[in-house]
Amino acid sequence: MQHSIRLRQLGIIARQDLASSLGSARALLFLVFFGLFWFWILWKLSDANLSSLSSFRGLNFIGLFMNPEHARHLFLDHPVYLSVYFLVALTTLPFFTMIAACDQTASDVSNRYIRFLLPRINRSELYMGRYIGTASLVILCYTIVTFAAAIVSGNLETVQNTGLFAYTIRIWLTLVFYSLAFTSLMAMVSAVSASVAVSLLLGIGGYFGFLFMLFIVRLQSKNVSEYISYLLPSGVKPWLTSPDESTIALALLAMLAYAIVFYLLGWWRFIKKDM
């Protein structure tokens, strides 16, 4: 089979991708930027008086930016520090993931490194191997930051360990699924791009352009803008903070669906592309 996947080859490519991430300027830039950003956020949050967010006035203020019911659930039912981390992570994840995942196959094609690989593996293996390598890096980063936030939260707030652990796992799972959707989106963008720079520009520029367009449409019709928003995974983001478990499960399934659809669209382009 021309597109059959061999697990060993997949592992080699993913391992190479992860290893080279630590040596490439682009990935190092992401790691440094990501690390500094979260160090600063977690540090500042630990010094801030977050308990005011669970007050009546605090919840009213947050209710301006998100569903008030979701806000009450996050800040009254769960540790406030971790909930703030959750909201900041959800908001910034698309941006960070797009930076980390912009070069999955783009530079292989632009510097023609792919010409060394293709006599040895097929395109599907390369595409999936790069995806796994990139997704692993993003997930690893969010795993570290999420558990760091949980440890700080445990020290700052008086919460039961089991509750804290369960909430941390929920946040981690949500961020993993949300990041997979954006990693797939960037796999698709990377497959149609001629270089990393174009991929990054198309991804981030396209994403913010889409949000701006959504804002304009929203001024005209809220319903239409809501339907359009589902074109990207961020349209389903409000579901992720729901107090209702079935809504959260549905949101995670939707993220998985986005991930699969974007992945397959990019794969289809990649296997047809002249290298």
Partner 1 sequence: MASIIKTESLSKDYGNKRVLDSINLDIASGLPIGLVGPNGAGKTTFFSIVCGYIQASAGSIEVFGTRPNDPILRGKLAILPQDARLAKGVSVLQQLRTFAELQGFSYKSSRTEAQRVLELVNLADVGKQPPEFLSHGMYKRVAIAQAFIGEPELVILDEPTSGLDPNTAESIRALIHTQKTERTFIISSHNLNDIENLCQHILIMKQGKITHYEEVAQLINRTNILSIRLEQVAPGNIKEVLTTIDTINHIEISDSGDHRITIHFSEDDAAGIEISILQCLTQAGIQYREFSRGESLSQKVSDITKD
Q: Which residues bind partner 1 (CB under 8 A)?
A: 1-2, 4, 9, 12-13, 16, 19-20, 23-24, 111-123, 272, 274-275
Q: Which of residues 117 and 135 has its CB atom nearest to partner 1 in the complex?
A: 117
Burial 233-252 (b: 16+ CB within 10 A, else e): bbbbbbbbbbeeeeebeebb
Q: Which of residues 140 and 275 has its CB atom nearest to partner 1 in the complex?
A: 275
List all residues 6 or more positions away from 49 whose beta carbon is below 8 Å from its beta carbon: none
Q: Are 132 and 14 in contact (CB under 8 A)?
A: yes
> How large is the angle between the packed helices 123-156 and 7-21, nearest 10 degrees?
60
- Return the structure tokens found at 32: 């440094």
The full DSSP string for 73-140 is HHHHSS-HHHHHHHHHHHHHHHHHHHHHHS-SSHHHHHT-THHHHTTTS-HHHHHHHHHHHHHHHHHH
Q: Which of residues 30 and 81 has its CB atom nearest to partner 1 in the complex?
A: 30
CB of 125 to partner 1, least distance (A): 9
Q: How far is CA 111 from CA 114, 196, 242, in A?
A: 8, 10, 45
Q: Which of residues 47 and 274 has its CB atom nearest to partner 1 in the complex?
A: 274
Q: Which of residues 25 and 219 has its CB atom nearest to partner 1 in the complex?
A: 25
| Sign, Cα dihedral of 174, 21, 92, 230 | negative
Q: Which of residues 104 and 241 has its CB atom nearest to partner 1 in the complex?
A: 104
Return d(Cα 114, Cα 119) in angstroms, integer: 9
CB of 109 to partner 1, least distance (A): 10
CB of 135 to partner 1, least distance (A): 20
Q: Are 86 and 171 in contact (CB under 8 A)?
A: yes
φ, ψ of residue 149 to 5 degrees: the values are -65, -40
CB of 101 to partner 1, least distance (A): 18
CB of 8 to partner 1, least distance (A): 8
Q: Which of residues 56 and 116 has its CB atom nearest to partner 1 in the complex?
A: 116
CB of 51 to partner 1, least distance (A): 47
